[in-house]
Amino acid sequence: MAAASIRLFNTMTMQKETLVPEVPGKVGVYVCGPTVYSYVHIGNARTFTSFDVVVRYLRYRGFEVRYVRNYTDVDDKIIKAARETGEQPVALAARFVEAFREDARALHLLEPDVSPKVSDHLPEILRIIGTLVDKGVAYESQGDVYFSVRAYPDYAKLSKRNLEELCMGERVQPGEQKREPADFALWKAAKPGEPSWDSPWGKGRPGWHIECSAMSARYLGETFDIHGGGLDLIFPHHENELAQSEAASGKTFARYWMHCGFLDLEGAKMSKSLGNVVSLREALGRVDPEALRFFFLSTHYRHPLAFSDKGLADAELRMEYFYETLRKVDERVGGKEFAPGPLHGEPARFLREFESLMDDDFNSAGALGALSGLFGAMNELTDKPPVKDKALVGRTLQALREDVRKVSGVLGLFEDEPSHWLLRRRDRAVKERGLDVARVEGLMAARVEARKVKDFAEADRLRGELKALGVEIMDTAGGTVWKVA
């Protein structure tokens, strides 16, 4: 498939632009990954899911993508957390890297092409800092090295902030030896008990921002296509990355900047200081991972998203509807062969609509709407076929089912066997409701026997008893199944 024309919103220009890669047909994507001092929160998870879909869709549309998402494993927060747990910072960071990988797999996040760690890239970091010092845009002060924002005329062009106001609004923190309040650390002198490395300015460790400049340059080049992250990273992290990278190389750093909107918790912005942060691991314990992923994608990535128990429950019900539809279709036409011929209606229109919406700034929310139309068409053809030609209906259902598989590869949804997903959903609901499964199965078996002897009054009575327990039964082509209503 030839690479398609995709438009995306560029935070730098504050408008949608057609993606024109630095190298035709190839796209380099760098996303700021987790700082591994704890379990990632759902705001991070939403950002990573959004860019997971961006990468999947670019590949679907024919681009060759190199996807880099880093781990920050050297940071003040890690040192602080290690002191609280009594671990070594390196050990604590490694533990939470593995925890993130486990949670990411559950959320169906693709493994990036490269997942670099700060601790493995000190030579690259030191080279950039040395270049900045040699160029006079960074300076050493008592073992620290700072970037001089006044020495870089384009500082704050991404965040559109006023440098004078920034300098007045900031203050030099105790222990900092910088000339201007807005200057930021590239290298921090070693302190007792902290991880440190040798450098031309003495033993120390890198500042936060320099790491992404070094790792993106190593794996994508000094100029690459898409830099992504959450809105909260625009300032100061991305602003500082941009300044130090372009000051060092003299080249454009990232050609397109993409930022994911905030996730609010029951109407309030999540904040560790407010104590209202929900971890991804906690959320995965409350809702099916695919339902959580569906929830994240149900709102455009640039828009705020309200996280609530109702929102999760609605997402899980929607996923249940999708999987029940797929089960019906697979029972109807799975593995069957139909003679070649025409299709009913225009089933390809749903995939075209999906692609059109995704081409427009990766509009997953709109794309899910197109997907609902596709599933509606499948339900109509299985429940109340508008035509009597079984081969025509079968071919059309198979064409629609194949389009679901294509969409699945983009959205990371519907990757499970329908019966397996539905059984897991039922088991979780049974546990939550405290249902007696043995009693339910007994009533189900009795109903089957009643139907066999055509005692439909008894079968209806048993259905009513099951309904009173909160159990809904469905007579399908593959037999009678039940779920928690």
From the annotation, which residues make up the binding site for ATP?
272
Alpha-helical (H) ranges within 170-278 are 210-220, 239-249
- Beta-ladder partners of 141: 144
Structural contact between residues 9 and 16, judged by C-beta atoms closer than 8 angstroms:
yes
**What is the bridge-based pairing of β-strands 263-265 and 268-269?**
antiparallel
Which residues are CB-contacts of 112 (< 8 A; sequence separation ≥ 6)? 31, 67, 68, 69
Tokens, residue 271 = 């904040």
Structural contact between residues 188 and 141, judged by C-beta atoms closer than 8 angstroms:
no
Task: Please report the sign of the dihedral spanned by the C-alpha atoms of residue 125, residue 127, residue 128, residue 132.
Answer: positive
Q: Half-sphere exposure (CA, 13 Å, Cβ side) for 23?
A: 12
End-to-end CA distance of the chain: 44
Q: What is the DSSP letter of 279?
A: B
Q: Which of 196, 213, 227 is nearest to 137 (CA)?
A: 213
In the block, tokens 């909107």 appear at 261
Binding residues: 32, 212, 237, 241, 272
Structural contact between residues 239 and 212, judged by C-beta atoms closer than 8 angstroms:
no
Q: Which of 290, 246, 280 is nearest to 155 (CA)?
A: 246
Q: Is the peptide bond before 236 cis (omega within 30 degrees of 0)?
A: yes
The CA distance from 304 to 311, in Å, is 14
Q: Half-sphere exposure (CA, 13 Å, Cβ side) for 59?
A: 18
Binding residues for Zn(2+): 32, 212, 237, 241
CB atoms within 10 A of CB 472: 13
Burial code (b: 16+ CB inside 10 Å, e: under 16) for 334-357 equals eeeeeeeeeebeebeebbebbbeb
In the block, tokens 């088991």 appear at 427
SS3 351: helix
* CA max distance for the chain: 92
